[in-house]
Amino acid sequence: MKSKIKVAVLRGGPSSEYEVSLKTGAGVLANLPEKYEGIDVLIDKEGVWHIGGTPIKPEKLHLRAQVAFLALHGEYGEDGTIQKFFETHNFPFTGSKSLASALGMNKGLSKKIFADHGIPTPNGRVITKRAGADFHKTALELFKTFTQPSVIKPVDRGSSVGVSICHTLPEIEAGLQKAFSVSKAALVEECIKGKEATCGVLEDFRGQDFYALPPVEILPKQHQKFFDYESKYSDTEGAKEICPGNFTRKETELIEKYAIAVHKALGARHYSRTDFMVHPKRGIFALEINTLPGLTPTSLIPKEMDAVGSSYGELLDHLLTLALERK
């Protein structure tokens, strides 16, 4: 009998998205195909790794597993830190390498790369947190610079953590303080009105080097301004997600084209998911890339896979195969 491939599923970590990562990891562990043996590697909020409740040294992971599935999100897990560790130890892992992860996590840098590659993205500006800074003065400048409403988000967080949509001067000031409470920098950008969309990309899938999954249309509830953290992970009656979304053929083609372009421009690996806004007159705007998209039971990539007749388990098998083949 052929022995199973041992997969270390890393979840948790010292991140503001710790709880989301726990859910993604649980989803991965529960849906691994039969040929794999899942090993639950819980990283606590202090960064200590555990297997079965016992602390382990990260550099000893190769004695327990053959490949790592990264079910981590946010800082540490998605910013290149853990990827650099595995690269240094020549250990196979799923998802993008360290440089692409770091670029994707930094919304300011990734927006510049989008623009440099001709990918439309909202006008934006990065504001750095400074000790003793006058929030009111900065907010007033932003209020005059950007047509309101504007969006303020931490430059290096995911899952909509710390995001605000601002219409007034006091809201901009509060939005800056909210973003700075979790990050050292904030991205301020114009708020594009229209349909929310997201589109996943898989590498080496169905005979294509880069395969765009069907774009999802996201319809926040009436009381919600956007697809926030609660809608993504906590609210059982949150935003409505339609897959495939109600987009025109041209819109669908452009979303898929730009999703692949974003993936390639940042040098992402294996898979990614890019968020967009679809303005009825101005067209498609790329907002940000997710180099380790959520894989919880309510996440979007599994829904896109289902729409093309593929399963969650097949997705996991595909990603692990790419990692083991060192692609």
Could you give the CA distance from residue 82 to residue 70 in angstroms, rounded to a whole number?
9
- Residue 318's φ and ψ, nearest 5 degrees, are -65, -45
Could you give the CA distance from residue 71 to residue 24 in angstroms, rounded to a whole number?
6
- Find the mean pLDDT for residues 238-264: 95
CA distances to 98, 152, 237 from 307, rounded to whole Å, are 30, 33, 21
Amino acid at 270: H
Surface-to-core class of residue 223, CB atoms within 10 Å of its CB (0-12 exposed, 13-18 middle, 19+ buried): exposed
Domains of the chain by range and CATH?
5-95 (3.40.50.20), 103-120+192-324 (3.30.470.20), 124-190 (3.30.1490.20)
- Residue 147's φ and ψ, nearest 5 degrees, are -70, 130
Place of tokens 């904030």: 186
Percentages (nearest 5) of helix, strand, coil residues in the chain: 35, 25, 40
CB neighbour list of residue 291: distance below 8 Å, 6 or more residues apart: 78, 95, 96, 100, 101, 104, 105, 266, 268, 272
Question: Which of 70-79, 167-176, 251-260, 297-306: highest mean pLDDT?
Answer: 251-260
84-124 residue pLDDT tens: 999 999 999 999 999 999 999 999 999 999 999 999 999 99
Contact predicate 103/42, CB 8 Å? no
- Residue 96's φ and ψ, nearest 5 degrees, are -70, 155
Average pLDDT, the chain: 91
Contact predicate 75/15, CB 8 Å? yes
Could you give the CA distance from residue 28 to residue 234 in angstroms, rounded to a whole number?
18
pTM, two decimals, is 0.90
Surface-to-core class of residue 298, CB atoms within 10 Å of its CB (0-12 exposed, 13-18 middle, 19+ buried): middle
140-179 residue pLDDT tens: 989 988 889 999 999 887 667 789 999 999 999 999 999 9
